[in-house]
Chain A
Amino acid sequence: MDVTIEYTHIDRFIRGLLSHYDVIAPVARDGRFIFDRIDDPAAVSPQYDTTLLPPVKWIYPNNEVLLEFDLRDITKAAVIAQGRPQALTFVHPCDINAINLMDDILAEEPSDANYLTRRRSTVIIGYECLGPCKENYLCFDKGCHITYKGFDLFFTDIGGRYYVHVATEAGREIVEEDGIFKKAAYDDWVDLMKARAERKKGFKKVIRGDMEMLSHHLKEAYHNEIWDIEGKKCLSCGACVIVCPTCYCFDVSDEMCPDMEKGVRTRRWDGCQLRGFCKVASGENFRKDAAERVRHRVFKKEVYLKKRFGRSGCVGCGRCIDYCIAKISIIDIFNHVMDRVRENV
């Protein structure tokens, strides 16, 4: 079922969402955008380029409490899986593709009860990209500038109104409630097709080579000089893995209440680019050089996850490039590897 909604009704639409959900939406902050919980529809900026942190972090929050325990009877530790109904709104396809992958990763046994509970209580309202949002993007090469699943509603701007694809029962309930959505007519569909034809002209390939072969070429480039070059620049600050929408590594720690009886176990986002990530109890560190860690990040996304889930762990959102102060770019790394392949052929 497809419907449309006038621009002027977006405020009412969000107000309706607010009566059922915590609404998480792109909002402007200091000239950039973030996903934040809103209570005023006027704060929402549907037109945004990209956000500092990806929306998946609202399903996978930092410093999340995993369980509560009491030292007097440690066997009764209770898992805290919380899921307030929340709506992630105006989510771009790259970020939806990322959530789809996170769903698959965290549903693998042993599955992540905390993530899955929050995910089940989340509705996702997608927002189509009709052109690239910035300079450092490779969503088009990745095929992640579009998405076919992972949303309840999907909005496309067709001029004066949005074309809304209704994908789930939860989505249908949202559009039926208000009476501000109209059944899509033939003309709406024609305008949707026109907008999508325009979209095709906007996106450009940025990787000089066949993306299907990337995983294979990277494996051959395991000893390439690029890892040392980038490793020298790398601060091991972890920015790239913290802002990545498909990085799911975490560390757990226990914290006691001041009475020293009750406590909580929390998890904190962690990442393979941090020096201590691979340090084990003996003191041994099996990825102690930044070069090895940079290579691991690329291999994790393009080789290991691809092998496990049939698709790359990188959705091409470009955040790891934008937020690297040392200017390490996976676009440059991929192109370096692709160029080397061409030179050798």
Chain B
Amino acid sequence: MKPKIGVFSFTSCEGCQLQVLNLEDELPALLGQIEFVNFREAMSEKGEDYEIAFIEGSITRESEIEELKRIRERAKVLIAFGACAHLGGVNVLKNFHPQGTWLPSVYGRTDLFSDTIPTKRVKDVVPIDFVIPGCPIDKKEFLRFVQGLLLSMKPALPDYPVCVECRSKGNICLVEEGKWCLGSVTRAGCEAICPTYREACAACRGLVEEPNIESLCNILMANGLSKEEIRAKFNLFNGLEAIVIPP
């Protein structure tokens, strides 16, 4: 029997769901192996008999907490996919400002979204089994992950930093050029797509185990960044992570 999969979306741009749909060449063959029963971006039916739940988005409203808990109860395996679900993502930025200041500046009024709460990661609300990181996710990584589940293999994420992929491509290092980049402390798996296009890595895939933040801060400060600027770079995706910028 084909494993049944549900894909659910919370506060996010839904770009990670689109990444799954972007697997245009692979989906027909993959659908011989799995069955989607609930996938808002792709289908109208809303089945409740899923075994595997992919959760996209962070939790930013009271009502989302109950919804997520309900999915967790039904699913045997729950995966946080994408930076919002994994890390809170860019939605965490609101946590750094009093609600009274950002609500009118974003929506022009304050009576919308009255149940808004500080952004939480999926793991802050329910236990998660696995993570597929990234903003957006890498569609090939999603494919490998699902294939791994089908083969009963424990999914493994790269445990090395983005620099490995970036240097392997022969890219010119942004930090070497006096700019900023967080690739040296960020989990790889994206094929260093941002630095390959000369854009700094903003750590959307989260940090590697034991990142040398202190050394990176010294390097970035030598490149002219202040501690506050470095903090802001980390906060873009990792605002809820315990990252200590040395004094």
Contacts and interface: CB of A to CB of B under 8 A. Distances in A.
Bound pair (A, B): yes
Interface string B188-221: 0000000000000000000011111011101100
Interface residues of A, number: 36
A236 interface: yes
Contacts of B29: 257-260
B209 to A, nearest CB: 6
Contact of A235 (B33, B143, B171, B216): B216
A187 to B, nearest CB: 41
Contact of B208 (A243, A275, A323): A275
B128 interface: no
Contact of B168 (A29, A62, A279): A62
Contact of B173 (A34, A239, A270): A239
Interface residues of B, number: 39
A243 B184 CA distance: 15
A65 B175 CA distance: 32
A30 to B, nearest CB: 6
A269 B168 contact: yes
A276 B159 contact: yes
Given A53-B170, A326-B215, A235 B160 contact: no
A32 B185 contact: no
Interface in B1-47: 25-30, 32-33
A190 interface: no
Contact of B143 (A234, A258, A271, A274): A258
B174 to A, nearest CB: 9
B112 interface: no
Interface of B: 25-30, 32-33, 143-144, 147, 150-151, 159-161, 163-164, 167-168, 170-173, 175-176, 183-185, 208-212, 214-216, 218-219
Given A52-B172, A268-B168, 6 more contacts: A29-B172, A62-B168, A258-B30, A260-B33, A260-B150, A325-B184
User: 9 closest Cβ contacts across the A-B interface?
Assistant: A258-B29, A237-B163, A276-B159, A258-B26, A242-B167, A237-B184, A235-B184, A52-B170, A238-B164
